[in-house]
Structure formats: C-alpha cells, structure tokens
Amino acid sequence: MTTLNLALARTLIDAALASAHAKGFKPMGVVVVDAAAQVVASARDDGATALRLDIALGKAAAAVGMGVNSRVLAQRAKDVPAFFNTLAQASLQKFIPQTGAVLITDAGGRVIGAAGASGGTGDEDEEIVIAGIAAAGLGHA
C-alpha cells in the first residue's frame, strides 16, 4: 500500500500548478489531504486570491470524508441541499461539496487521500488535480 507522503504531495501540487499555467488558467490553490482529511501539503500561486487554499481544502476534505469525488458531492448537494447544509455546519473539517477535488488511490484502488484545487472553474480545478495525481504516479477514483 502506498502512503501519501510529503514528497508525493509536492510532486502532485507542482504538476497540478504546471498544468494550470500551461493551460492559461487563473492563479490556483491546491491542497492534498490524507485519508483522514489532514493536510499533507498545500500551495497557492502568486496572485491567487485569499480564499483559494480554504476552498481547495474544503473540497478535498469533503471528498475524502464522503468517499466520493467532489463532482458527485456537488450533484448530491443539489438533490438534497438541506442535508448538505447541515453536514457542512456540523463537520469539524471544512466541507465544500463543489467540483474540484478528486480522491487519490494507491495501486490496489484504496483511497489514500484527496487533492482539491480552487481558482478556476470546477472543471478546471478538477482537471489540474487529475494531472497532478497522474504525474505523482498515483491513481484516482
């Protein structure tokens, strides 16, 4: 079983930000959390607005906490908004059910964490974390 360590998290973040730069996306923030939704590493582009890391963390923590990518959570939040509003208020961790975070898996398909981004559209945020996960040699759900 692969452990999500600092070196892998930094590789993921660097590749995610490089992907954003190559595509001309706005300045981004990227956060990598472990399976307990604890921050392993985070980085914010020069010029990224103040809440980028907070939002990226909320997306990643929500994904790993619920065991699904944040794209799925965004749809579920539309279907049952009262539940998700209550969950966000009750959670001790940041909880933002919006597209832009992806579960990270090891070679056996086990969830070992999540990566979240903020700064672009949800699709852009998701795209760069998937690029980062691939560059780190990890899988995603």
Number of independent structural domains in the chain: 1
d(Cα 56, Cα 99) in Å, to the nearest integer? 10
Residue 106 domain-assigned?
yes
Q: What are the pLDDT digits (tens) for 62-88? A: 999 999 999 999 999 999 999 988 988
- Domain assignment present for residue 34? The answer is yes
Task: Give the span between the Cα atoms of 119 and 100, in whole angstroms.
Answer: 10
For residue 102, give the CATH number of its domain: 3.30.450.150
Whether 1 is covered by a domain: the verdict is: no
Judge whether 124 lies within some domain.
yes
Q: In which domain, by residue range, is 79 found?
A: 6-140
In a domain, 99, yes or no: yes
User: What confidence tens digit (pLDDT) does each residue in 29-56 have?
Assistant: 999 999 999 999 999 999 999 999 999 9
Residue 105 near residue 141 (C-beta atoms within 8 A) = yes
Q: Establish if 95 belongs to a structural domain.
A: yes
User: What predicted TM-score, i.e. pTM, was given to this entire model?
Assistant: 0.95
